[in-house]
Amino acid sequence: MESKERITALRSLMKENHIDYYFITTSDYHNSEYVDDYFKAREYMSGFTGSNGDLLIGADFAGLWTDGRYFIQAERELEGSGILLFRMGEEGVCGITEYLTEHIEQGQTLAFDGRCVSIQMGKRLEKAVEKKEAHILYEVDYIERLWKNRPSRRASQAFLLPHELCGKNQKEKLELVRTKMEKLDCSSLVLNKLDDIMWLFNLRGGDVECNPVALAYSIITQKDCFLFLQKAALTDKVKEELAASSVVLKDYDRFNEELEQIPWEGRVLLDKENSNYSIYKLVEKKAEVVLGTNPTQKLKAIKNEVELEQMKRVYLLDSLVVCRFMRWLKENVGKIPMTELSAARYMDQLRRDTEGFLDLSFPTICAYRENAAMMHYQATTKQDKEIQAEGMLLIDSGGQYMGGTTDVTRTYCLGEVTAEMKDHYTAVVVGMLRLLNGKFLYGCTGRNLDILARGPLWDMGIDYKCGTGHGIGYILNVHEGPQNIRWRFSEGMEEVILEEGMVLSNEPGVYKAGSHGIRIENIMAVKKGIKNEDGQFMEFEGLTYAPIDLQLINPDIMEKRDILNLNRYHRQVYERIAPLMTEEEKNWLQEVTKEI
Amino acid sequence: MESKERITALRSLMKENHIDYYFITTSDYHNSEYVDDYFKAREYMSGFTGSNGDLLIGADFAGLWTDGRYFIQAERELEGSGILLFRMGEEGVCGITEYLTEHIEQGQTLAFDGRCVSIQMGKRLEKAVEKKEAHILYEVDYIERLWKNRPSRRASQAFLLPHELCGKNQKEKLELVRTKMEKLDCSSLVLNKLDDIMWLFNLRGGDVECNPVALAYSIITQKDCFLFLQKAALTDKVKEELAASSVVLKDYDRFNEELEQIPWEGRVLLDKENSNYSIYKLVEKKAEVVLGTNPTQKLKAIKNEVELEQMKRVYLLDSLVVCRFMRWLKENVGKIPMTELSAARYMDQLRRDTEGFLDLSFPTICAYRENAAMMHYQATTKQDKEIQAEGMLLIDSGGQYMGGTTDVTRTYCLGEVTAEMKDHYTAVVVGMLRLLNGKFLYGCTGRNLDILARGPLWDMGIDYKCGTGHGIGYILNVHEGPQNIRWRFSEGMEEVILEEGMVLSNEPGVYKAGSHGIRIENIMAVKKGIKNEDGQFMEFEGLTYAPIDLQLINPDIMEKRDILNLNRYHRQVYERIAPLMTEEEKNWLQEVTKEI
């Protein structure tokens, strides 16, 4: 049992250094959604491969905390390791901080690598052990010493986006950020969120799966601007161009040391969501910390005209990919061998062959029949369902292109389906189109609008257990805040007014465990509508133009305007995509987008 | 000029007592929505009769602050008084606290009657003068000394509701309140909100216009329960029954004195919205104050089964009133002389003739043609439009009955109307019915649902500048919190999950200045719908069953389900109201509720 040996090795290191508990997460230094293999320390130590889980090692104790998605998997993977499984959310199961509060003894020491721990978690750990006057060491990285054959950290060449893709240069962006810092009465800002840094410097890289970002930190003051990158990222061109913009380049691996040495003047703004605990502690030693939101976040979320134009262009190319996939699927299903993985590969290859393609924006989800009822299903070589000419196939996919990040889901009829499936599909389409065509006053947040998409399902006594929409980055992360479309209110939740230029997904769905799953996802941009004595009206502009599967539509349960919405949408699909097609394809598209 | 003399008299009192500024509001001691004449001190001193306005008098200064609704009226009414008008909300106009900050001098004194000032306002005044180390005297009532021929304070007999109207007795309610106090770690609670006190003791009175409440205070501890009432309220029966429930009766006029003498133990909960500043200061002297929400508020908002059954019964009687008014109006308009006031009187008389009637729940709004575009229009003997057989009439009215408080608005066609008016009316009806028929998951607040009613108008580029719905009391105030249906988010706003048993209005509208106004208002109760693996669904049960005016409906702009909604609603109106009618009336009702 490998993990047993690894924990034993860790324990002897702990003992040597008088450390009683060592805490290990699954996070990089930037709270990235996708974590590279290099950072999978918890997986290495425990053997548990799920995406969420924290490991705590004591002298005679080892515990792993994970959530309901992973109970069965964790049980299997932890067998024989001596690691106790804590099923988070189950009644009577204590959390990691509660465990520490109860078990850590007077004056004992808890250690971890603070770069992989969020500020909130760090503070909760502080609180958990404070009554026992326990010590916290947050700069202890035993993983580096213990991990034999650790995968090397990704270190790709970075590149600067050409001005015609950005609309705003670094200087203009820096000025906007500094103005916002001034309003918050902060003289400095420390950035460690990768997509925020990429946005600010018009930089891109390849250090995180599906996210075209380079590992980086940045420190912005009213005078200076430091950018920390890995050596490999620094091509001559990057060095030259950044120097020309007065950006001082520094070494990524010396970030924490440099942070300690900066003579801060005034208050320092840190991202309360994404800054890591080490940054917080190192800055807090010498300066007043303001925990807030990166000024870059909202600036990045509101796409400028150049970015929107690029996205529109790229979404047409991406919609063409989806059209071609649909045609291939419908014409070949039942005739050639096809599995979830092979169909996903076909889709991915169509994207790879598209002009400007950089990467997928996330691993393609291709789920057949009942597998589609699992919202985040991923086929694997071990579990790869054969696709036949019956039931429905759900495919959720997207790409990173020079000109935008795409995300689109379609569900297709492959043969015989039930009347219930058709009704569910129709309600999902009706909801998606009602939201896409919604008009609302400026000042609305996603909470005001969620029911437009969800209402047709609620009317049927059905809900989908997720939000209706998330923000989308520009040649960046496919999930981006702060805007979203959700109905549920939670205390302390940040609610964001939908501003012109924000881009959102619109993806209602039906998930019937053991039976079928349906999701339709279009991407749309917020734009201004009419303005009159009642105020500024807002609306959406569609970016996605891929057909809805008419074989799954039951017009009898649609209202007049729903049918108008669908026919208008299909007319737009044809008008926009047909010019990119061969004659043969055009004929096919005309047929699948015909009026109902 | 009367107000000039009154201010002169006030100033000499101020001078005698070394008071530099005296602040006068329009509020009773309970922050009641309707203020009795006795409490209209600001009106007496300034001559300004608007519902909102604060008066500040200095040795050589007199200023009145009011909002946009009243600029023209205030200008007229203040002419010659020497009082400066401060137009609140206009650019460059300073608020009352800003004025004080700027003009009060070192060590000067500001005085007012703290019973008529809210905690928030009191605190803002404190803050405004603190830099100048000015003194605040909050127990100075010069109005009582100056006001010649002051209207006497209302002092009606109180009465206890019979158990069959309450569902819960005082002891049960007290227990619920005490449990909630315990959860908040508060040992005492001071109540001054009249409807909360009435609810708690199943008591009613007649001391505030349209609200069947008695002037009262109450102090609840874990052991004791004190109720302060005016002597006139205390019939033998009230005394007897309350004594039987261990309620200690005290004199309303000695409340502040008693408050000072209570030996508080533990923390004292005060209503941050409605407690007056005197209470706050007197309690704060001796105990730790917790500013929160009355535990009574939400308990009162969730109607129990007995209350709901009573409301359903009473709403049928009240809907019958509305039917009879509609018939009278339609049959007589253009034939007999009719004005806004006379039509309102006709409606009011129908209510007065109804079994169990106590009072109107608010002064009836009857607004003809363009007058209806003013949301809170009130006809007066000076301004009383003649009603003719053309255009539309809006009537918003309600009653207090033994068994419920009603509120209903209808807009009627009296003759020729434009196609635009019909479209507006239709969209309002469509929105009202969509909200009434909405299904939603438990956890939704009014913000999630507002767009169901407002959406059809937003789709036309129209908005109404108010919420869609307010809570409604039970034989209490027609406007009651905490629940509501609104779309706009404001920082610090309390958002309340819609709970089974809450009762709300549903009143979208169109207000076109100078042309027409439309509002349709139905009342509905929240109830549980189906529960399945996706959660607990919720829906509304209608209470109001008054016809929609089919002469104003344009079916061409309605969806299938909107027409179904309307026809089903009208079928329910007929089924429920016809049995209460004469044969002749039944025929009429059948005709006006016929299928479209």
- Residue B389 φ then ψ, to 5°: -80, 55
- Cα distance between residue A294 and residue A192, in whole Å: 10
Residue matched to tokens 């109201």: B577
Rounded to the nearest angstrom, the minimum Cα separation between B243 and chain A is 43
Q: Which of A212, A14, A32 is CA-nearest to residue A115? A: A32
A-interface mutation test, from B424, B433, B444, B530, most A Cβ less than 10 A away:
B444
Nearest by CB: A447 against B448, B529, B532: B448
Q: Which of A447, A445, A464 is CA-nearest to residue B445? A: A447
Beta strands in B398-443 (DSSP E): 399-401, 404-405, 408-413, 440-441
- Cα distance between residue B504 and residue B447, in whole Å: 13
- Interval B460-514: pLDDT, tens: 999 998 999 999 999 999 999 899 999 997 766 778 999 999 999 999 999 999 9
Nearest by CB: A537 against B441, B458, B489: B458
CB-CB under 8 Å, A447 with B451: no
Helix (H, G, I), strand (E, B) or coil at A484: strand
Nearest by CB: B462 against A449, A497, A534: A534
Which residues sit opposite A23 in a β-bridge?
A56, A112
Tell me what percent of the residues of chain B surpass a pLDDT of 90: 91
CB neighbour list of residue B140: distance below 8 Å, 6 or more residues apart: B17, B19, B22, B111, B112, B113
Residue type, A4: K
Task: Spell out which chain A residues touch chain B, with contact meaning CB-CB distance below 8 angstroms.
Answer: 438-441, 443-445, 447-452, 455, 458-459, 461-463, 465, 487-489, 495, 497, 529-530, 532, 534-535, 537, 559-561
- Interval A342-364: pLDDT, tens: 999 999 999 999 999 999 999 99
Q: Which strand (E) or helix (H) includes residue A518? A: strand A516-519
Residue B418 is predicted with a pLDDT of 98
- Give, to the nearest 10 degrees, the angle between helix B305-332 and helix B340-352: 140
A-interface mutation test, from B430, B435, B447, most A Cβ less than 10 A away:
B447
pLDDT at A584 over 70: yes
A-interface mutation test, from B437, B439, B442, B448, most A Cβ less than 10 A away:
B448
What is the b/e burial string over A121-140, where b = at least 16 CB atoms within 10 angstroms of the residue's CB? bbeebbebbeebebebebeb
Question: What proportions of chain A, in percent to the nearest 5, are helix, strand and coil?
Answer: 40, 25, 35
Largest CA distance in chain B: 78
pTM: 0.93
Rounded to the nearest angstrom, the minimum Cα separation between B439 and chain A is 6
Q: Evaluate whether A398 touches A407 at the Cβ level (below 8 Å).
A: yes
- Cα distance between residue B137 and residue B119, in whole Å: 14
Q: Is the dihedral of CA A189, A190, A194, A200 positive or negative?
A: positive
- Cα distance between residue B44 and residue B116, in whole Å: 15
Q: Chain A: residue nearest B491 by CA? A: A495
- Interval A540-555: pLDDT, tens: 999 999 999 999 999 9
Helix (H, G, I), strand (E, B) or coil at B562: helix
Q: Which of A324, A311, A352, A306 is CA-nearest to residue A580? A: A324
- Give, to the nearest 10 degrees, the angle between helix B305-332 and helix B560-577: 100
Task: Identify the residue with better confidence: B455 or A26.
Answer: B455
Query: How many helices (H) does chain B have, and how many strands (E)?
Result: 19, 28
CB-CB under 8 Å, B452 with A489: no
Q: Which of A364, A342, A353, A365 is CA-nearest to residue A401? A: A353
Residue B1 is predicted with a pLDDT of 62
Is beta strand B159-160 parallel, antiparallel or unpaired with respect to B203-204? antiparallel
Residue A349 is predicted with a pLDDT of 98
CB-CB under 8 Å, A450 with B448: yes
- Interval B386-423: pLDDT, tens: 999 999 999 999 999 999 999 999 999 999 999 999 99
Nearest by CB: B488 against A443, A465, A560: A443
CB neighbour list of residue B195: distance below 8 Å, 6 or more residues apart: B211, B213, B300, B473, B476, B477, B480
Residue type, B493: M
CB-CB under 8 Å, A489 with B445: yes
Neighbour count for residue B73 (Cβ, 10 Å): 14
Rg of chain A, C-alpha, whole Å: 25
Residue A1 is predicted with a pLDDT of 63
> Quick one: three-class SS letters along A128-145?
HHHCCCCEEECECCCHHH
Question: What proportions of chain B, in percent to the nearest 5, are helix, strand and coil?
Answer: 40, 25, 35
Would you place residue A492 in the very low, low, confident or very high pLDDT band (cuts 50, 70, 90)? low
Rounded to the nearest angstrom, the minimum Cα separation between B527 and chain A is 15
Q: Chain A: residue nearest B446 by CA? A: A448
Q: How far is CA A583 from the centre of its chain?
A: 38
Structure tokens at A3: 């993990």
Q: Which of A146, A151, A112, A110 is CA-nearest to residue A127? A: A110
pLDDT at A428 over 80: yes
Q: Which strand (E) or helix (H) includes residue A369? A: none
Q: Chain A: residue nearest B560 by CA? A: A559
CB-CB under 8 Å, B451 with A448: yes
- Residue A424 φ then ψ, to 5°: -65, -45
- Asked if ipTM goes beyond 0.90, one says yes
Q: Peptide bond before B482: cis, by omega within 30 degrees of 0? A: yes
Q: Chain A: residue nearest B437 by CA? A: A459
CB-CB under 8 Å, B448 with A451: yes
CB neighbour list of residue A513: distance below 8 Å, 6 or more residues apart: A370, A373
The Cα-based distances of B588 to B429, B504, B572, B591, B593 in angstroms read 21, 29, 15, 5, 9
Neighbour count for residue A415 (Cβ, 10 Å): 12
Q: Evaluate whether A293 touches A273 at the Cβ level (below 8 Å).
A: yes
How many Cβ pairs closer than 8 A exist between chain A and B? 83
Nearest by CB: B560 against A447, A537, A559: A559
A-interface mutation test, from B434, B437, B440, most A Cβ less than 10 A away:
B440
- Interval B531-555: pLDDT, tens: 999 999 999 999 999 999 999 999 9
Q: Which of B287, B20, B37 is CA-nearest to residue B132? A: B20
Alpha helices in A444-493 (DSSP H): 446-458
- Interval B287-324: pLDDT, tens: 999 999 999 999 999 999 999 999 999 999 999 999 99
- Cα distance between residue A219 and residue A576, in whole Å: 44
Residue matched to tokens 């349209």: B210
| Residues of A whose CB is below 8 A from B455 | 438-439, 452
CB-CB under 8 Å, B489 with A447: yes
B-interface mutation test, from A433, A451, A465, most B Cβ less than 10 A away:
A451
Would you place residue A211 in the very low, low, confident or very high pLDDT band (cuts 50, 70, 90)? very high
CB-CB under 8 Å, B441 with A458: yes
- Cα distance between residue B404 and residue B472, in whole Å: 9
CB-CB under 8 Å, B441 with A487: yes
- Interval B126-182: pLDDT, tens: 999 998 999 999 999 999 999 989 999 999 999 999 999 999 999 999 999 999 999
- Interval A567-581: pLDDT, tens: 999 999 999 999 999
pLDDT at A69 over 90: no
CB-CB under 8 Å, B561 with A443: no
- Cα distance between residue B473 and residue B300, in whole Å: 8
Looking at residues A393-417, what average pLDDT do you find?
Answer: 98
Residue B398 is predicted with a pLDDT of 98
Is beta strand A522-532 parallel, antiparallel or unpaired with respect to B62-66? unpaired
pLDDT at A91 over 90: no
- Cα distance between residue B393 and residue B326, in whole Å: 10
Least confident range of A410-414, A464-468, B524-528? A464-468
| Residues of A whose CB is below 8 A from B440 | 451, 458
Q: Peptide bond before B162: cis, by omega within 30 degrees of 0? A: no
Q: How far is CA B245 from the centre of its chain?
A: 30
Residue B492 is predicted with a pLDDT of 66
Residue A375 is predicted with a pLDDT of 82
B-interface mutation test, from A434, A460, A464, A489, most B Cβ less than 10 A away:
A489
Neighbour count for residue A396 (Cβ, 10 Å): 25
Q: Which of A329, A347, A324 is CA-nearest to residue A388? A: A329
- Cα distance between residue A224 and residue A484, in whole Å: 33
Question: Cα–Cα–Cα angle for A562, A564, A565, nearest 5°?
Answer: 60
Helix (H, G, I), strand (E, B) or coil at B116: helix
CB-CB under 8 Å, A537 with B465: no
| Residues of B whose CB is below 8 A from A443 | 487-489
Helix (H, G, I), strand (E, B) or coil at A357: strand
CB-CB under 8 Å, B461 with A534: yes
| Residues of B whose CB is below 8 A from A458 | 438-441, 537
CB-CB under 8 Å, B452 with A440: no
| Residues of A whose CB is below 8 A from B441 | 458, 463, 487
Q: How far is CA A228 from the centre of its chain?
A: 23
Helix (H, G, I), strand (E, B) or coil at A399: strand
Is beta strand B203-204 parallel, antiparallel or unpaired with respect to B216-221? unpaired
The Cα-based distances of A408 to A364, A446, A521, B237, B307 in angstroms read 10, 19, 5, 72, 51
CB-CB under 8 Å, B451 with A452: yes
Q: Which strand (E) or helix (H) includes residue A392? A: strand A392-397
Residue type, B209: E
CB-CB under 8 Å, A463 with B535: yes
- Residue A212 φ then ψ, to 5°: -80, 65
End-to-end CA separation in angstroms for chain A:
61
Burial class (CB in 10 A: 0-12, 13-18, 19+), B402: middle
CB-CB under 8 Å, B532 with A461: yes
CB-CB under 8 Å, A451 with B463: no
> Quick one: three-class SS letters along A531-572?
EECCEEEEEEEECCCCCCCHHHCCHHHCCHHHHHHHHHHHHH
Q: Evaluate whether A74 touches A50 at the Cβ level (below 8 Å).
A: yes
Structure tokens at B454: 């407002």
